[in-house]
Structure 1
Amino acid sequence: MAARLDMGEAVTPDLAILYEHPLWFEPLFAALDRRSVPYRAIRLTDHSFDPADKSVPAPVVLSRVAQSGFLREPEHGIFYAQSLLAHWRANGATVLNGPEILAVDSSKARQLSLIAGLGLAIPETRVVHRREEILAAADGMAFPLLLKANVGGSGAGIVRYDDRAALAEAVAERFLPESVDRVLLVQDYVPAEGGRIIRLETLGGRFLYAIEVETGGSFDLCPADACVAAPGRETVRMAAVDPGPELVEAAERIAQGMALDVGGIEVVIDARDGVPRFYDINALSNFVANPLDVLGWDPHERLVDFLEAAITEAKR
């Protein structure tokens, strides 16, 4: 039985889902429908709010805001959503992956600072906000180097430079990646052991599953259905993997350290020295494509369990 409510319906459901991408969350919506959980799907694109309005769309709100939204819409809602989620929380809603999570999700610099603060290894990185500081930041760093946009998604805003001359030319010609917040990361290019990275998904601060994803030289490693099926996109090879207790414990420390409700932690095993270097936190966590084939079970069912528990708690 369908449980999704239209925006025009006056009934307040148990759950609201704030989202941007039109396709990524159909598997979640389908799981909610199967379980007959009433919910309202709120599209971020055409949303506005009144700061004096104290109503909330539901007792529990789940944020599914994509950092790659700026690729699809110049007038994206990434930073707008932080204000909206904070407003709903202030007026009594339980907000999962709330504004403070979104703030970290939208800053690779903050992610790396959090990870390093936990004593975990990260790629050598310098953070800058002016073009003129890029070459100075690269002093003493080995090439190849990456320039990364601080706000990124789907591999956007990442460029590799194989030597200092190539980087200097890009700086001089102003042919550089851009970040919507004007912050860039100068980062060591870590060669991935076996040409693979590991993505560890967490739910409620606990390990959920892990997959290995072949890089194929690409920085766009999104594993979800809509990504895998995107026109012109090369096939991303992925497989379930047992990451071992050390990586599981590290991923849980990261998730718990930022109070992440649901999200993925990405790590690359450095082929030069075997050190696991954590480099990205993805609070969107739209889960792996074809989960029954890859994992043997559907993580959306676990997410619905988590949401139902949050709804029960919010009603007490």
Structure 2
Amino acid sequence: MSKIYILHENDEWTDHLTQRLEELNLPFELWHLDAGTLDLTSVPPEGIFYNRISASSHTRDHRYAPEFTEAVLAWLERHDRTVVNGSRALRLEVSKVNQYMALNQAGIQTPGTISAVGKENILEAAHQLGVNSFITKHNRAGKGQGVQLFHSKEALREYLDGDSFEEPVDGITLIQQYIEAPEPYIVRHEFIGGEFVYGVKVDTSEGFELCPADACSIEDLYCPTDAESQKTKAKFEVLENYHPSIVDQYKEFLKRQNIQVAGIEAIKDKDGNLYTYDVNTNTNYNSDAEEKAGIYGMLELAEYLGGLLEKAEG
């Protein structure tokens, strides 16, 4: 019997989806790809394969999950299986350089960015960027890894020479123009099946940790779980009647990149210029924000996967 296969490396991020699949009585199987073997001469089972591998897998001691998943995806695609978020999506997930090049090719503006390998070259990149305020981030990141805000080259030098410097897992640090918004928030645009589902306003006043999943937690900059959310103002808010013109560009971009499920993050500066800075193909949803809005991303995702399975079996 055909089923839905979920390719992942983090059990906490699959719970909400599997609950919805069970509610809909859809057959599924989890493939945990942090390690394993793959017989390249074998034939994959029939079904729908949904890739949920994250760029932050190495922070959970799953260093080679993306590489192993790329091998599995190549095997699945070789046999023409239906893959949601296939090889191209994975390449963008694990490389912001790839993201920015693809976004720019689609005519979508990203912040000025220079990539660098080596501490001296990070400092040189800050000089080349030629702005007073800038941030550093990891090329393969997730969970706000390596994101630091600087207002001077001297502060960057102290960071590079200090104990708090984080070495990127792929060696590539990005030095990026800091976009100062008139109000401290960004908007994350959620897509399922290539269609826009909703925009969620994310409060950034406490820092750069923007993961909307209930399970996210890093250095006390947390995504509110059901229990914790009563202690503070909502960090995530699903926007009503929100459909800006950029959505159509995002849809076309995702179509060209063969990405079906994504959360695309953007920020406006004080002059109203919109900058897109992250494409998350392992997108998660916040239950508090969705409950208030009456929109449920994981339910829509489960229905989408179920529709693909029904189509494949028909």
2:213 aligns with: 224
The equivalences for 1:17-32 within 5 A come to 17-32=6-21
Q: Answer yes or no: is the 8 Å Cα contact 1:198–1:268 preserved in 2.
A: yes
**Aligned residue pairs, count:** 302
2:73 aligns with: 85
SS at match of 1:95: strand
Q: Answer yes or no: is the 8 Å Cα contact 1:62–1:97 preserved in 2.
A: yes
Match of 2:283 among 281, 285, 289: 285
What is the percent sequence identity of the aligned residues?
A: 26
> Amino acid of the residue matched to residue 282 of structure 2?
L
Distance in 1 (alpha carbons) for counterparts of 2:75 and 2:18 = 24
Q: Answer yes or no: is the 8 Å Cα contact 1:147–1:177 preserved in 2.
A: no
SS at match of 2:245: helix
In structure 2, the gaps of 5 or more residues are 225-233
Q: Structure 1 residues 293, 162: CA separation in 2 closer, same or farther (over 3 Å shift)?
A: same
C-alpha deviation, 1:227, in angstroms: 1.8
2:186 aligns with: 197
Does residue 108 of structure 2 align to residue 95 of structure 1? no
Q: Structure 1 residues 254, 16: CA separation in 2 closer, same or farther (over 3 Å shift)?
A: same
Q: Which moved more, 1:25-34 or 1:293-302?
A: 293-302
1:15 aligns with: 4
1:262 aligns with: 261
C-alpha deviation, 1:224, in angstroms: 1.3
In structure 1, the gaps of 5 or more residues are 1-11
List per-residue Cα deviations over 1:252-311 (Å, max 9, x = no partner).
23322312110100001113x211100000001122223542321222222122112222
1:212 aligns with: 201
1:116 aligns with: 104
TM-score, scaled relative to structure 1: 0.88
Q: Answer yes or no: is the 8 Å Cα contact 1:16–1:58 preserved in 2.
A: no
RMSD in angstroms over aligned alpha carbons? 2.2
1:145 aligns with: 134
SS at match of 1:285: coil
TM-score, scaled relative to structure 2: 0.88
C-alpha deviation, 1:173, in angstroms: 5.7
Q: Answer yes or no: is the 8 Å Cα contact 1:291–1:299 preserved in 2.
A: no
C-alpha deviation, 1:82, in angstroms: 1.0
SS at match of 2:122: helix
Distance in 2 (alpha carbons) for counterparts of 1:278 and 1:154 = 17
C-alpha deviation, 1:213, in angstroms: 0.5
Does residue 49 of structure 2 align to residue 61 of structure 1? yes
Q: Answer yes or no: is the 8 Å Cα contact 1:16–1:40 preserved in 2.
A: yes
C-alpha deviation, 1:57, in angstroms: 4.1
Question: Higher RCO, 1 or 2 (CA under 8 Å, sep at least 6)?
Answer: 2
Q: Which moved more, 1:58-67 or 1:245-254?
A: 245-254
